[in-house]
C-alpha cells in the first residue's frame, strides 16, 4: 500500500476495534448480569454505546469500500458521493458514541462514590457532556444547507456550508472537552478509592484499573493534530484518513477500558479453574447469590452476622437503607475489599450499636 491509498489502514483499525469491543462488552454483560447479578444503568448505557459504535464502524467500513483513504481523482463520482455519505454518517455516530461512553463511565463511578462532592462533580461532567454533545451534533448535522451538499458537492462548499474555520474551531473545542472529561473520569477514581478502607496494594491496583479510561484522552490529543486536514474539501476522503482512524481509536479504547474494569470476577474465576487462585470460587452455594437485593462478596461475610454483646457487624453490598429505629448510632465505613471493581455495587461495612438497655425488647434482622 503506497501513500496514494491509505484505505487499508482505515479497514484494519475498524475491524480491530469491531472485534475487540464485541469481545469485551459481552464479557462485561456476562459478569454483571450472570456472575454478580448487578446489571445496572451504567451497563445499559455501555450496551447502547456499543450499538452506536458498531453503527459508526459499519459506516466507516462502507466508506472504506467506496473510497475513504483514496484520492478523489482515483474515484468515480458515484463512489465519491457514497463514500462522503458514509463519512457524514460516521460523524454523527462518533458524536453520539463519545457522549454515551461518558455517561456510562459517569454512572459507573457514581455507583462507587460515597462522597457527595464526587457524586455532584460526576453529575456536572455528565450534564456538560450531554449539553455540548448535543450542540456539536447540531453543528455536524446542519453544517451544510441542504444537508446533502456535504456528499453531493463537497464539505465546506462556499455559499452552502459553514466556513471551514467555524467547523474546525468547534471540532477543536469538542476534542478539548473530550480530553478534559477523559482525564477527569480517569483521575477522580483515585480520590474515590483513596478514601476507602482497603489494603494499599489493592488500592493501587483498583486506582490503575479504574483510571485506565483516561488513556482514551491520548487518542483525543493525537486526533486534534489532524483536525486541519478537514479543511481540504476537494480531496477530503484522502486528507482526513488519519483523522478518521483516530476518531475510531478514541471511543474504542474508552469502551474497552470501561469493560475491562469490571472483569475481575471473571479473571479470578479463570485463575481459580487453573488452580492459580484460591480467593474466588463459584458453586451452588456461591457467595455471589443475591438475597433481597444484596450481593454477598466475601466467603466469610456470614460470620459477622453473629450477634455479640449489643453489637452486630456485617458486610453487605447493595442499596443503602435507613437503619431501624433502635439503632441510633450507625457508623458506615466504605470498603472496596469485596467490590468486584467498576461500580458493580457499593460495599459498606456497617456497624450498628445501641445501649444495652435499649436493646431489650428489640430484635433487628438484616434483609
Let me know whether 100 and 21 are in one domain: yes
Let me know whether 249 and 161 are in one domain: yes
Range(s) of the domain holding residue 336: 290-359
Per-residue pLDDT, 16: 97
Using DSSP's 3-state secondary structure scheme, residue 196 falls into coil
Domain boundary among 262, 281, 299: 262
Q: Is residue 245 in some structural domain?
A: yes
Per-residue pLDDT, 103: 93
Report the C-alpha gap between 130 and 124 in whole angstroms. Answer: 10
Let me know whether 250 and 164 are in one domain: yes
Let me know whether 169 and 106 are in one domain: yes
Per-residue pLDDT, 233: 77
Q: Is residue 276 in some structural domain?
A: no
Q: Is residue 327 in some structural domain?
A: yes
Per-residue pLDDT, 2: 57
Let me know whether 232 and 168 are in one domain: yes
Let me know whether 297 and 220 are in one domain: no
DSSP 69: T
Q: Is residue 70 in some structural domain?
A: yes
Per-residue pLDDT, 197: 65
Let me know whether 136 and 242 are in one domain: yes
Please name the residue ranges forming H helices in 225-282: 236-239, 241-260, 264-273
Let me know whether 236 and 316 are in one domain: no
Question: pLDDT per position in the chain (367 positions), as tens?
Answer: 556 789 999 999 999 999 999 999 999 999 999 999 999 999 999 999 999 999 999 999 999 999 999 999 999 999 999 999 999 999 999 999 999 999 998 998 888 787 888 899 999 999 999 998 999 999 999 989 999 999 998 888 888 888 766 778 888 888 888 888 878 877 887 777 776 666 777 777 777 766 666 666 778 888 888 888 888 778 999 999 999 999 999 899 889 988 988 888 898 888 888 877 655 444 434 444 443 333 333 333 333 333 444 444 444 444 444 444 443 333 333 443 334 444 334 444 454 544 444 444 444 333 3
Domain boundary among 244, 262, 280: 262
Let me know whether 85 and 183 are in one domain: yes
Q: Is residue 268 in some structural domain?
A: no
Q: Is residue 231 in some structural domain?
A: yes
Q: Residue 24 has which C-alpha cell? A: 469485551
Q: Answer yes or no: are the C-beta atoms of 25 and 44 closer than 8 Å.
A: no
Name every residue whose Cβ is closer than 8 Å to that of residue 261 and which is 6 or more positions away in sequence.
108, 209, 210, 212, 213, 341, 342
Per-residue pLDDT, 164: 67
Using DSSP's 3-state secondary structure scheme, residue 235 falls into coil
Q: Answer yes or no: are the C-beta atoms of 337 and 298 closer than 8 Å.
A: yes
The structural domain count of the chain equals 2
Q: Is residue 67 in some structural domain?
A: yes
Q: Count CB atoms within 10 A of the CB of residue 80.
A: 21
Q: Answer yes or no: are the C-beta atoms of 30 and 266 closer than 8 Å.
A: yes
Q: How many CA atoms lie within 13 A of 289 on its CB side?
A: 9
Q: Is residue 150 in some structural domain?
A: yes
**361 burial level (CB within 10 Å; 0-12, 13-18, 19+):** exposed
Let me know whether 65 and 199 are in one domain: yes
Domain boundary among 262, 277, 301: 262
Let me know whether 242 and 179 are in one domain: yes
Helix (H) or strand (E) holding 128, with range, is: helix 116-141
**Any idea what the CATH number is for the domain that residue 197 is in?**
1.20.1070
Let me know whether 71 and 207 are in one domain: yes
Q: Residue 311 has which C-alpha cell? A: 453489637
Per-residue pLDDT, 303: 37
Per-residue pLDDT, 41: 94
Amino acid at each position: 500500500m503506497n501513500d496514494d491509498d491509505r484505505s487499508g489502514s482505515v479497514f484494519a483499525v475498524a475491524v480491530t476495534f469491531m472485534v475487540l469491543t464485541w469481545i469485551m462488552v459481552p464479557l462485561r454483560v456476562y459478569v454483571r448480569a450472570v456472575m454478580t447479578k448487578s446489571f445496572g444503568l451504567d451497563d445499559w448505557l455501555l450496551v447502547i454505546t456499543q450499538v452506536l459504535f458498531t453503527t459508526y464502524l459499519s459506516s466507516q467500513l462502507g466508506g472504506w469500500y467506496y473510497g475513504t483513504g483514496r484520492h478523489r481523482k482515483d474515484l468515480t463520482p458515484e463512489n465519491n458521493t457514497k463514500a462522503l455519505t458514509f463519512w457524514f454518517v460516521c460523524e454523527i455516530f462518533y458524536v453520539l458514541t463519545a457522549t454515551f461512553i461518558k455517561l456510562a463511565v459517569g454512572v459507573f463511578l457514581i455507583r462507587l462514590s460515597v462522597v457527595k462532592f464526587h457524586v455532584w462533580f460526576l453529575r456536572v461532567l455528565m450534564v456538560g457532556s450531554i449539553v455540548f454533545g448535543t450542540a456539536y451534533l447540531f453543528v455536524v448535522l446542519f453544517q451544510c444547507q441542504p444537508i446533502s451538499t456535504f456528499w453531493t458537492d463537497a464539505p465546506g462548499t462556499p455559499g452552502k456550508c459553514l466556513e471551514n474555520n467555524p467547523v474546525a474551531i468547534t471540532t477543536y473545542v469538542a476534542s478539548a472537552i473530550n480530553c478534559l472529561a477523559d482525564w477527569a473520569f480517569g483521575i477522580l477514581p483515585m480520590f474515590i478509592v483513596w478514601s476507602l478502607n482497603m489494603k494499599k496494594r489493592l488500592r493501587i491496583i483498583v486506582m490503575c484499573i479504574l483510571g485506565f479510561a483516561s488513556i482514551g484522552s491520548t487518542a483525543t490529543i493525537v486526533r486534534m493534530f489532524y483536525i486541519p486536514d478537514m479543511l481540504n474539501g476537494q480531496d477530503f476522503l484522502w486528507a482526513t484518513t488519519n483523522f478518521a482512524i483516530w476518531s475510531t481509536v478514541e471511543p474504542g479504547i474508552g469502551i474497552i477500558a470501561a469493560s475491562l474494569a469490571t472483569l475481575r470476577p471473571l479473571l479470578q474465576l479463570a485463575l481459580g479453574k487453573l488452580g492459580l487462585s484460591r480467593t474466588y470460587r463459584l458453586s451452588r452455594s456461591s457467595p455471589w447469590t443475591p438475597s433481597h437485593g444484596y450481593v454477598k462478596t466475601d466467603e466469610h461475610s456470614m460470620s459477622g452476622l453473629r450477634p455479640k454483646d449489643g453489637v452486630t457487624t456485617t458486610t453487605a453490598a447493595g442499596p443503602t437503607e435507613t437503619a431501624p429505629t433502635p439503632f441510633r448510632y450507625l457508623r458506615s465505613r466504605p470498603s472496596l475489599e469485596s467490590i468486584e471493581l467498576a461500580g458493580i455495587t457499593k460495599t459498606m461495612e456497617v456497624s450498628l450499636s445501641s445501649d444495652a438497655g435499649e436493646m431489650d425488647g428489640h430484635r433487628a434482622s438484616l434483609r
